[in-house]
Amino acid sequence: MESHQVVDAIYAGFALDSAVDYRAFLTAHARALGGLEPAARPDAPRLPLLAQDLAALDLPVPDPLPLAQSRTDGFHWGLRYALEGSRLGGAMLSRQVAPGLPKAYLSAAHGKGEWIAFQQALDSAAMEGGEGWLDDAVQGAQAAFALFAQAGRASQVVGHG
């Protein structure tokens, strides 16, 4: 998905072993996650972990970016797909964080079998979803990636400007 590649390229610009960049990275994630999590994952929030990391760095939790809402099941699954993928990537990124910096958010990896269980649930929902479900799911994932991209670009300007 091209929008995923755009997000990866934006966030690759943050050096996680730099306290300044890491602060900007966490702030960007908090802005995106604050808009996404209530719609997609109210049952498994990572925002409290992110708030914990921000507090340890004496940073406030920023205002969330607004998410264009859709009430379809497919759209919400698309949001969840992007968030679960972010969680998966976070576990790898946590290894790049400089010693002494907090990393509760990035260290919140999937437990054994959770990613596979999510994929199976996603596949099941897609099979039961009916006409338009997959298009809605793609729109949801793209909306999530767009929010992460918007937040990342804004934080790069602040952190590097």
Distance CA 143, CA 17 (A): 29
Looking at residue 159, its pLDDT comes to: 52
Residue with tokens 């925002």: 47
Where are the alpha helices (H) located in 97-132, listed in sequence order? 114-128
The predicted pLDDT at position 111 comes to 80
Domain ranges of the chain: 2-160
DSSP letters for 27-93: HHHHHHHHHHHHHH-TTS--HHHHHHHHHHTT-PPPPPPP------HHHHHHHHHHHHHHHHHHHHH
pLDDT in the model for residue 1: 60
pLDDT (tens place) for every residue of the chain, 161 residues total: 688 899 989 999 999 999 999 999 999 999 999 999 988 876 778 899 999 999 999 999 999 999 987 789 999 999 999 999 898 889 889 999 999 999 999 998 778 888 899 999 999 999 999 889 999 999 999 999 999 999 999 987 655 44
Do residues 10 and 28 make contact, with C-beta atoms less than 8 angstroms apart? no
* pLDDT at position 130: 87
Mean pLDDT for the chain overall: 91
Residue 38: the pLDDT is: 87
Q: Which CATH number fits domain 2-160: 1.10.3720.10, 3.40.190.10, 1.20.910.10, 3.30.70.920?
A: 1.20.910.10
**Letter for the amino acid at 143?**
A
pLDDT in tens, 95-142: 999 999 999 999 987 788 888 999 999 999 999 998 899 999 999 999
